[in-house]
Amino acid sequence: MKELYRAAKQLCSRPIVTKPIRGRDGHLLVTVKDQLSRWYEHFSEVFKAPDSSVESEAEESQALLNIDTRPPTKIEIARAIQSLKNGKAPGNDGIPVEAFKANADVSADVLFSLFQKIWEKEEVPESWKEGLIIKLPKKDDVMRRATCESQRGLPWTQEQQLEDIDFADDLCLLSTKRQHLQSKIDDLAREAEKDGLRINCSKTKEMRLNTSDDCAVHVNGEAVERVNKFTYLGSVVDPHGGTEADIDARINKARSAFAQLKPVWDSSVIARRTKVRIFESNVKSVLLYGCETWFVRDDLTRRLQVFVNKCLRQILKVFWPRTISNTELRRLTNQRRIDSEIRLKKWSWIGHTLRRSEDHPPKIALTKWAASGKRKRGRPKTTWRRTVVQEAAALGMSWHEVEGMAQDRSEWKSTLRALCP
């Protein structure tokens, strides 16, 4: 059976291509000897055992534990085989889990004699002590190879363009022209294929802003679905910024989280203070996720405040005909107004961003980047950035003064208290 699976794997699997890795100093290591030396150095640091000369301060327990020391039975082995999860990578023998689970009783009969010998001799086979280290390509390297030839992104700084936004396994490609985006996708698909990766077209979406070009974008010959909005890292993005759609989504998610905790709100054993803390950590955190970059209007703030007030009244069991003012409700639960909380989170994030290095993308977007193009006639739209400048101006501070204050944490905390009383 082992030879059968090994032969099938060799026939179906793709050839393995070794890619260079980077050394400690950042230079590429192309020879196998240098790569193995670097891997040995890396894992020696990761799995470094603690100093055995240091005596443990923990006292050994003298209590006898009731542990069954008899060898495993065939029934126990078969039960363990059935509990294994499907779809997992096989070990050095190349036998997948599904092969053992096809007939657990037969597999248990085969493994029983092996486990008996291991139990009696108290030694495991040497092959069981071996492990495979598989080198996975980094997404940054793939994107760097796909975008290094030419600049096809958004104007970012005087020297560079913003080609993509990456987080974990999510990629967001940016371009000012469809032709540039298509060529960038083709280059990304080609470079990813070299590392055994591929783009999932069914999970790929495209959104266009202020363009009359209606030609489709393709991934490996398949047209990409065009959408008017999409969710990226938990926040909604649409042609208008996404704040209103994102607030609708956050309210629905927070309402679901609040409903799941109904037994907590109905409990007569849990104290009011504890319920409010659970509400803040499990419901309000869901509601205000990503609020640092929301452009909120009075009507949007009012919708958020109505939801919070409704939840707090249910926690306090205040129902009609009994009434309570919103001011008294916030006093009993020690809550801020929702617009004040959003402002506090926003300015805390601004201070954190302004203390980052000059080449950090969020800081560039906050301090250096300016939208290109020509705006329409009429009064400029009220944007998130303009509201920030207005809030600072209300305290008599210019944006340059805000940048200077943010570098001193203690001074910045005083500024936050003035901005968010």
Neighbours of 192 (CB within 10 A): 19
Nearest to 309 by CA among 333, 285, 277, 342: 333
Answer yes or no: do 299 and 253 share one domain: yes
Read off the pLDDT of residues 1-37 as tens digits, 9 standing for 90 and up: 556 546 555 555 555 555 667 788 878 787 888 888 8
Answer yes or no: do 105 and 121 share one domain: yes
In a domain, 304, yes or no: yes
- With tokens 């092959």, the residue in question is 127
Q: Quote the pLDDT of residue 39.
A: 84
In a domain, 375, yes or no: no
Read off the pLDDT of residues 195-221 as tens digits, 9 standing for 90 and up: 778 888 888 889 888 888 888 899 888
Task: Please state the domain count of the chain.
Answer: 4
pTM, two decimals, is: 0.66
Q: What is the separation of C-alpha 273 from the centre of its chain, rounded to a whole number of angstroms? A: 31
Answer yes or no: do 25 and 114 share one domain: yes
Q: Which domain holds residue 157?
A: 139-227
DSSP at 196: T
Using CB atoms within 10 A of its CB, is residue 158 exposed (0-12), middle (13-18) or buried (19+)? exposed
What end-to-end distance do the CA atoms of the chain give, in Å? Answer: 72
Answer yes or no: do 6 and 125 share one domain: yes
Q: Quote the pLDDT of residue 395.
A: 80
DSSP at 126: G
Answer yes or no: do 93 and 30 share one domain: yes
Across 371-390, average pLDDT = 79
Answer yes or no: do 244 and 309 share one domain: yes
Answer yes or no: do 394 and 410 share one domain: yes
User: 195: which 2 tokens?
Assistant: 């590392």
Answer yes or no: do 9 and 123 share one domain: yes
Answer yes or no: do 105 and 144 share one domain: no
Answer yes or no: do 261 and 190 share one domain: no
Task: Answer for the pair 292, 281: CB distance below 8 angstroms, yes or no.
Answer: no
In a domain, 161, yes or no: yes
Answer yes or no: do 17 and 116 share one domain: yes
In a domain, 374, yes or no: no
Q: Of the candidates 166, 201, 227, which is a domain's last residue? A: 227
**Under DSSP, is residue 231 helix (H, G, I), strand (E, B) or coil?**
strand
Answer yes or no: do 152 and 188 share one domain: yes
